[in-house]
Structure 1
Amino acid sequence: MRYREHPPPQALRPFVRCLWELAHDYGGSGYSREHLWATPYAELLVLRAGSYRAGGRTLQGVAFMGPRTRPVTLTSDERVELVAARFHVGGARDLLACRPGDAVDLVADAPEVLAPTTPLGSATTLTALAGWLHLHLGHATPDPVVVTAARIVAERCGQVPVTSLAGELGTTTRTLQRRFDRSAGMSPGALARILRFNRARELLVRDSRVDLAALAAETGYADHAHLTRTFRERFDLSPREFRELLREITEAGVASVQA
């Protein structure tokens, strides 16, 4: 697998976390799946070769993946090459033809959900994709409160109560919730839960032998049982079963692409 991330041009940095590219021969690798975990970051993919299958539909050409509150599995049995953009929380709002909340957990052909009608299928290089994004986001302005709140939550790995977050920002919990709903389609509490869980997952990936009680304490869960319940809710797997999945992926020589 060849996977590379690139910083976006300066003009896109308020909206785009990174541009990235991937090339992988799933048919020749012996491993045909990509496990994509929950993430608050939407992505826009331009597939210049191959396709994925997800949830009974085929993704080819240009695809949009909204923020995810649950994992998604992509499958392919051919060589896939693509370029993509990964957005900040709320960064894709001005590209959408639907409410941001309707894009959460959405995996779709991009023309179904994008407002711009300018063709994107020819943007098969990172430079061309960045140019298309600049054309449609160059005059937009992200919500500064949502931007700051998302940064604080990320810096603290999700371990911040929403009431405390609102107080730091000089606003009310209700107002903060409304601003997140308009920009990101998910609540600040949902963002915190996803990032807190992803921190626990990352630490487990880094050291599969880590003590689960210590991991729960470090990442803000009440106890080992709370962490296990959350893993089952997110993956339908216990932490130990997740370790087995990691071992399977590692032995197959595949590094899943994650936000």
Structure 2
Amino acid sequence: MQHQEFEPPADLRDTIKCFWYNRRGHDEDESTFEVIPDGYAEIIFYFGRLCGVSYDGSWQQLPSPFMIGLLNQPANFYAESNLEIIGIRCFPWTVFNLLGLPSGKGGVRISEHPIAGLHAALEEFINAGKIEDALAQVKRYFLTVRSKIATDSIISKAGFAMRESNGTMPVSLVANAAHSTVRTLERKFRQSSGYSVKDVSGLMRFEQVRNKLWHYPESNLVSLAHELGYADQSHLSKEFKRYSGTTPAAFARKAKKSA
């Protein structure tokens, strides 16, 4: 499997975390792979055979592109070999404004949108092995879209503060950083993302624990809980199981086996 991530142009860094490309080769078998929640929304273009997704217990077919909003539990994707993906990883408080869609909760979202018009051109580049050209096309699209939308300074400042603190900053301090009251911030944040500041911060913080345990499975949970602002180890473990469906210890054991 090949995976690459690419920095967005400067004018997109307040809305998009990164662009990425992933390829499963001909020699890889059909498989189901799990996507664990994090603090981002993803717009996914795929080329090949991505058969479907299971979320909330049921399988559904997927068009290209589709969007993965904030997940509150893992989602399982079924794919065949020779699959290529171009992903756009967005901040959840910017993705709906970027796409001109009403915000809302939900994991995997499918809706008709002008962005689908990119698929044919991207497929030509992918089939010709011109990955950089495909990514350049996607970047141009989002630069054009971004130039036409207004930025809410409160949401922008709040998002920056949340990112800098990896989701550990209390809502009251996020509001201070955004020069807003908590009430105004929460109203605007729900309008932009469909979620509260606390909801998104919780996922961002979980993502930090997940990444730490995956790369350093011997990490001390008490220290992690303190570092990331959990009340104690029990609180960390409860939140981790809420989003991942498993305990931190079981996840760390899995990470060791995959090393």
Do both proteins adopt the same fold according to a TM-score greater than 0.5, normalized to the shorter chain? yes
1:228 maps to amino acid: S
Match of 1:137 in 2: 146
Match of 1:120 in 2: 118
| Aligned-pair CA distance for 1:159 | 1.5
Contact 1:212 1:224 in 2 (8 A): yes
| Aligned-pair CA distance for 1:172 | 0.8
1:13-46 CA-partner distances (Å, limit 9, x unpaired): 3322211111113x74458233322223221111
Contact 1:213 1:224 in 2 (8 A): yes
Task: For 1:168 and 1:132, locate their aligned partners in 2 and report how far apart those are by CA, in whole Å.
Answer: 31
Task: For 2:254 and 2:119, locate their aligned partners in 1 and report how far apart those are by CA, in whole Å.
Answer: 35
Match of 1:170 in 2: 179
Match of 1:107 in 2: 108
Question: Do the aligned partners of residues 10 and 245 (structure 1) sit closer, same or farther apart at CA in structure 2, a change above 3 Å counting?
Answer: same
Pairs aligned (count): 244
Pick which of 31-40 and 71-80 moved more.
31-40
| Aligned-pair CA distance for 1:194 | 1.0
Task: For 2:121 and 2:33, locate their aligned partners in 1 and report how far apart those are by CA, in whole Å.
Answer: 23
Cα RMSD after superposing both structures? 2.3
Task: For 1:97 and 1:9, locate their aligned partners in 2 and report how far apart those are by CA, in whole Å.
Answer: 20
1:22 corresponds to 2:31: no
Question: Do the aligned partners of residues 11 and 211 (structure 1) sit closer, same or farther apart at CA in structure 2, a change above 3 Å counting?
Answer: closer
1:76 corresponds to 2:79: yes
Match of 1:87 in 2: 90
Question: Do the aligned partners of residues 142 and 70 (structure 1) sit closer, same or farther apart at CA in structure 2, a change above 3 Å counting?
Answer: farther
1:216-254 CA-partner distances (Å, limit 9, x unpaired): 222222222212211221122111111233245x26xxx
Match of 2:42 in 1: 43
1:106 maps to amino acid: G
1:105 maps to amino acid: G
Match of 1:255 in 2: none
Question: Do the aligned partners of residues 226 and 11 (structure 1) sit closer, same or farther apart at CA in structure 2, a change above 3 Å counting?
Answer: closer
Question: Do the aligned partners of residues 9 and 165 (structure 1) sit closer, same or farther apart at CA in structure 2, a change above 3 Å counting?
Answer: closer
Match of 1:9 in 2: 9
Aligned-partner SS, 1:222: coil
Question: Do the aligned partners of residues 135 and 170 (structure 1) sit closer, same or farther apart at CA in structure 2, a change above 3 Å counting?
Answer: closer
Identity of matched residues, %: 24
Aligned-partner SS, 1:152: helix
Aligned-partner SS, 1:160: coil
Question: Do the aligned partners of residues 15 and 97 (structure 1) sit closer, same or farther apart at CA in structure 2, a change above 3 Å counting?
Answer: closer
Gaps (5+ residues) in structure 2? 123-133
1:205 corresponds to 2:214: yes
Pick which of 79-88 and 92-101 moved more.
92-101
Contact 1:89 1:147 in 2 (8 A): no
Gaps (5+ residues) in structure 1? 252-259
| Aligned-pair CA distance for 1:52 | 4.4
Contact 2:69 2:107 in 1 (8 A): yes
1:57 corresponds to 2:31: no
Contact 1:96 1:113 in 2 (8 A): no
Aligned-partner SS, 1:59: coil
Contact 2:29 2:81 in 1 (8 A): no
Question: Do the aligned partners of residues 17 and 123 (structure 1) sit closer, same or farther apart at CA in structure 2, a change above 3 Å counting?
Answer: farther
1:122 maps to amino acid: A
1:246 maps to amino acid: A
